[in-house]
Structure 1
Amino acid sequence: MILLTGTAFMLSAIVLFGVAVILPKSPGVPLDRRRPYQPADSSLTRFAGSASGAVHGFLTRRNVRLFNREELENAGLRTSQAEFFILVIAGAFVSALIGVIAGGLLLGILFFILAPFVAKFVLRFRTGKRRAKFDEQLGDTLQLLSGGLRAGHSILRAIDAAATESVSPTAEEMRRIITETSLGRELQVSLNDTAERMRSEDFVWIAQAIQINREVGGNLAEVLDQVNETIRERSEIKGHIKSLAAEGKFSGYILMALPFGITTMLMVVNPGYMNVMFTHPLGWAMIAASAVLMTIGGLWMRKIIDLKF
């Protein structure tokens, strides 16, 4: 009886082992259900990615630096050189198509050639606007830094708090300083690079004040308050100078546009009156002399009203 019972248990164990190991398992959880949800890329996204990779490889092999990373970062753009190059090419083709429809093939070619220059102008405009905004936010940035120092934080922690509380572009630049220092770069080097990248003389003062305090000690919060007061006074003086120079700039714009306006009006009112200017050699000489004199006068007036402070 005992032998029969032991044999039954052994047979049952063999059967269970076969069911558990030999027989196929039940289907497990699919792999896509065990990973976080990732939306599938569209065909346009995949095409744009492959095109960007191809353009990046071409620019890298040819060592082309038409729109380098520094220019894009200074303009506040988060695109790569290849992506921006694709946008410029697309804009050039669209502009050429508009030019062909509006004025013919020559105008379309002209629009296509002007597209990279327009892109450069847009980058410089955005860069200048971003730098001016950074200078405007320096007062609030210094208040955040001095407040963090008075609360007992270190200068790095105060810069981190300023990055959190500020808005773009100050937040981006402060966060970049924190990232660089966390990777082992010297704080003074990061501050100087930021001042050079933003072309801010006021931020140079801030970097120098922090460096002097790290070398000789003292109350950095009070030093930053004094620097903040100086910067605010300089900003007020800048505003007065800009308001006084605005009249001269507006007069310069009017004087530069006046000859073109008068010429256009005469050509519309009496077209035959201006024909001699464009057909006679004396008229050509007068046009050339006028262009030279206007260029000299414009540069001279720009030098007068472009005040350095």
Structure 2
Amino acid sequence: MTFDLFSTILAFSAVTTLLLLIALTVRDLFSGRRRNDENTEQAETLYVPPDKAGRTALDRWFYNLLETSGSSLDRSTAALIPAAGALIGAAIPVVLFDSIPVGVMGTLLGALLPVGWWQFRAWRRQAAMRKHLPEALDFMADAVRAGLSLEKGMELVGQEARPPIRDEFRMCASQLAMGYPPYTVLQRASRRIPIPEFRIFATAVLVHRKSGGDLALLAQRLAQAARERAEFRGHMKAVTAGSRLSVIGLTVGTLIACAVLTYTRPEYLQQFLANPSGPTLLAAAAGLQIFGLLWVWRILQVKY
């Protein structure tokens, strides 16, 4: 009786949280599109950076992840998504299978899936911006040589460059047109474009507004440096392609072999798990597999 009551309360909480999450997400998405299309409202009354908005290190890390992933959701709505995922992930196994351990696993999975999706989006977005940043800096150098202002130059880049770097420059131009101070605009852009060349460019723009200098030449040199970094990164990927493919093949092959063995000979797996040393050996093998993947990933991380 107590377990049934707990399951009912958990299911009700999960459904209520899901409906609230859908409503807040739709509100943020539509209001964000309206602001971008009409340019009549400010996206935020005052931009608060993640290091000041977050009370804890986890909050600051999460808010910075939202910035780098290019999410248009409000911070409060985005913070509700992992919580709702954890609640829904706990409710489904408990209600359907009456299993608390499976519910705990569902809780972890529901909370980590949205975070993993934002991490994937941030990685894809950063790779695309790194590819198109040299072209955007060349456009900016041409705009400065033509005598255009910072706002007009960013507007030009927002028209001529490719997404997603185009969207970031377009956002900067609209924020400058609405009266945001350049320091705030470039600070937020540096967080949404976590590339060293752009951060140097943002610093150079602020210095140029105070003390002058050849901003066009600096932007052109930064574009060349970004191209050289992209060429080096492509060379590293080509050199290490065989090693990366072998690691992926071994990992995927192991998982496929386990799945095929479980499907064709389930009694083997049952006997293995029934042995007292079976779960321990299985956990050790999974841990070594994960450790090997992390080791190879760390070796292939070359900073240039």
Under a length normalisation based on structure 2, what TM-score does the superposition of the two structures give?
Answer: 0.64
Deviations 1:136-166 (A, max 9, x none): 2212211211121222213333123223433
Identity across the alignment (%): 24
Q: Which runs of 5+ in 1 are unaligned?
A: 1-46, 57-64
Maintained 8 Å contact 1:67/1:85: no
1:240 to 235, 241, 245: 235
Aligned residue number for residue 3 of structure 2? none
Distance (Å, rounded) in 2 between the aligned partners of 1:66 and 1:152: 39
| Cα pair 2:208 2:215 within 8 Å, conserved | yes
Counterpart Cα distance in 2 of 1:230 and 1:174: 20
Cα pair distance change 1:251/1:76, threshold 3 Å: same
Relative to 1, partners in 2 of residues 1:151 and 1:84: Cα closer, same or farther, differing over 3 Å?
A: same
Is 2:82 the counterpart of 1:78?
Answer: no
Query: Superposition pairs for residues 62-211 of structure 1, below 5 Å?
Result: 71-81=65-75, 104=97, 106=99, 111=106, 114-178=109-173, 179-180=175-176, 183=179, 185-187=181-183, 190-211=185-206
Report how many residues are paired.
Answer: 254
Kept after mapping to 2: 8 A contact 1:67/1:81: no
- 1:89-124 Cα offsets, whole Å, 9 max, x none, are 8878988898799x8454688556633321222222
1:117 and 1:264 mapped to 2: Cα distance? 24
Quick check: which has more Rg, 1 or 2? Answer: 1
Structure 2's unaligned 5+ residue stretches are 1-18, 29-58
In structure 2, distance between residues paired with 1:296 and 1:48? 39
Paired with 1:280 and 1:133, the residues of 2 have a C-alpha distance of 50
| Normalised TM-score (structure 1) | 0.63
Q: Is the 8 A contact 2:69 2:192 kept in 1?
A: no
1:221 equivalent in structure 2: 216
Given that 1:141 and 1:162 are in contact with CA atoms closer than 8 Å, whether structure 2 keeps it comes out as yes
**Does the aligned pair in 1 maintain the 2:21–2:81 contact within 8 Å?**
no
- Which structure would you say has the larger RCO, counting Cα contacts within 8 Å and 6 or more residues apart? 2
Q: Is the 8 A contact 1:210 1:220 kept in 2?
A: yes
The match for 1:5 is none
RMSD: 4.2
Quote how far apart the aligned CAs of 1:213 are: 4.3
